[in-house]
A = this chain, B = another copy of it.
């Protein structure tokens, strides 16, 4: 029993449908032509599909684009952005005609590919193929999870669908395969994708590279699959009816379409895909569909009127939800308050208190990945929005938290997710969970396999989503698994991603701090990668819990003036205790060093100059960085570097420490030899 029984009025009006389709085509051709750049083929080929969906199925309120219970629409084939911009404009989102006319111009709300939190009504930043597909799976999973946790009898306050349009290109990408397999496994019944099967890619016909039986593949994943003529609105609508009623499996509606439909010579050809059609082709297309050549960006009044008439019904649905949520709030005030806090990405005080209680005493030793497990266990109750899991390394990554409940068909409210060996899909799904709202997702794998999820991880940074990426086994010190598993360049490489905070904590207390830092970041800030060790690390005597300033003076000999320091040693993660030991020993022989722990470059960079100069006084230019990874990049902070600029090796950790010169003895030698 779904509130979705209430739907906006269907476009029984074929004339209105036709007008909408033609207008989308016209706007698309004109915008691409004016920008002299863009992708006309996809919007023209999918105008029928999209119009059918938006006219009769999609529940949304253009006046309140962030209404929590709206249906989500994902344009996975993001290059078809003019389709989405046309729909948003025509349906009354805050995207006026001037914006369409500024398609692909600096500062406009109509960039080349759709960008969430930039254009009202855009749910996901798409463009890299397959990524939107995975994000949609996350959106649908988020809905199911919140519905299971928050709905109460008579109060279905979370109850919406996730729709999307996906392309041949999307379905060739591995990330989509991974997410599709997971969605089928979980049985995400409220996920409905229209597949724009135009059989054209940039290189030409899909015959040249993509001849698999997509329908059979998705059936094998456990999806409900239908196939229709993608230019027959009644057939599409009928398939959508069936799909949205199928609650035990996600749906793929294969829509056979013609790319660039309506273009006189380029329809059905890859030449309509990624370039302006050209004035003659546009003219031909407009003439053929009985459209005025002038003005460009033409929108018939009767279309505006027709769509306006329907908007009332959508507003009523949203208002009805407002009333229903008020009733829910009256009856379940605590749940409602929880949800509101979660929607706002708030870190509840009880959660902070739970983390505050996690303290580790110097003199003990613990692997920082295991600290992560303690952090998560402490958050299960006080942070109800917490959700996530690992790509089949839950125990190893320190994210095996049975108390979260394992997400499954039988336990749709489970907040622990077995993602399977699907790193890229995992990160893409987590983006969707974060985009949904009301959830604080984390994913986890070995640091080395951040390489596998880099596409989606970058999108989490570009969308500024507060996803937490837990990356364990953060150096060669994982030992015997060898060079295929030993990160060398990964830590530095993640630091290069804008808006991603990379935290490599030195010990247990810094690890708790890393989580606090990560959870205090909100939507609009960005994701955090927490790099944790496989091996035990000593709990540092003066180690801090607060990593929010990025770096701090961990130790230096008492009563030594800054001017008398021989050098500063800057280290991260497991190398901090190494640096400390070297510094202690050198202190014994009269060589005073300052040891700086620098768990988070990005946070340190955000400090004012005074603090940065306090930690790294400009007068001390003899500085040595110590990190078990590439040294390129460390020139930002240090003049000399200890690191590893080649691949690792398979051996026990202590043997590797000797081999790669990461022992106190070797470090002491380097420091003594500093020019």
Instruction: Enumerate chain A interface residues (CB-CB to B < 8 A).
Output: 35, 37-38, 78-79, 104-108, 111-113, 115, 125-130, 168-170, 172-178, 181-182, 184-185, 201-204, 208-217, 219-222, 390, 392-396, 400, 406, 408, 418-425, 448-449, 451-452, 454-455, 458-459, 461-462, 479-485, 488-489, 492-493, 495-499, 630, 632-636, 645-647, 649-652, 655-656, 659
A198 to chain B, nearest CB (A): 13
A659, B112: Cα distance in complex, Å: 17
Inter-chain contact A390/B78, CB cutoff 8 Å: no
A588 to chain B, nearest CB (A): 31
The residue of chain B having its C-beta at the shortest distance from the C-beta of A134 within the complex is B174
Q: Which residues of chain B have C-beta atoms less than 8 A from A479's C-beta? A: 37
A260 to chain B, nearest CB (A): 17
Q: Which residues of chain B have C-beta atoms less than 8 A from A175's C-beta? A: 174, 452
Q: Quick one: copies of this chain in the complex?
A: 2
A651, B79: Cα distance in complex, Å: 15
Contact of A482 among B115, B172, B489 (CB under 8 A): B115
Q: Which residues of chain B have C-beta atoms less than 8 A from A655's C-beta? A: 105-106
The 7 residue pairs across chains A and B that have the minimum distance between CB atoms:
A174-B174, A635-B635, A127-B484, A111-B650, A209-B420, A106-B651, A489-B496
Q: Which residues of chain B have C-beta atoms less than 8 A from A633's C-beta? A: 496, 632-633, 635
Contact of A458 among B219, B425, B451, B461 (CB under 8 A): B451
Contact of A222 among B211, B393, B493 (CB under 8 A): B211
A496, B494: Cα distance in complex, Å: 11
A455, B655: Cα distance in complex, Å: 27
The residue of chain B having its C-beta at the shortest distance from the C-beta of A636 within the complex is B635
A656, B185: Cα distance in complex, Å: 44
Inter-chain contact B104/A37, CB cutoff 8 Å: no
A204 to chain B, nearest CB (A): 8
Q: Which residues of chain B have C-beta atoms less than 8 A from A181's C-beta? A: 172, 210, 212
The residue of chain B having its C-beta at the shortest distance from the C-beta of A406 within the complex is B208
Inter-chain contact B480/A37, CB cutoff 8 Å: yes
A252 to chain B, nearest CB (A): 13
User: Would you list 12 pairs from A and B whose C-beta atoms are within 8 A, ordered by A residue?
Assistant: A105-B655, A127-B482, A172-B420, A173-B421, A174-B424, A185-B210, A209-B422, A212-B221, A213-B220, A219-B220, A424-B424, A459-B484
A632 to chain B, nearest CB (A): 5
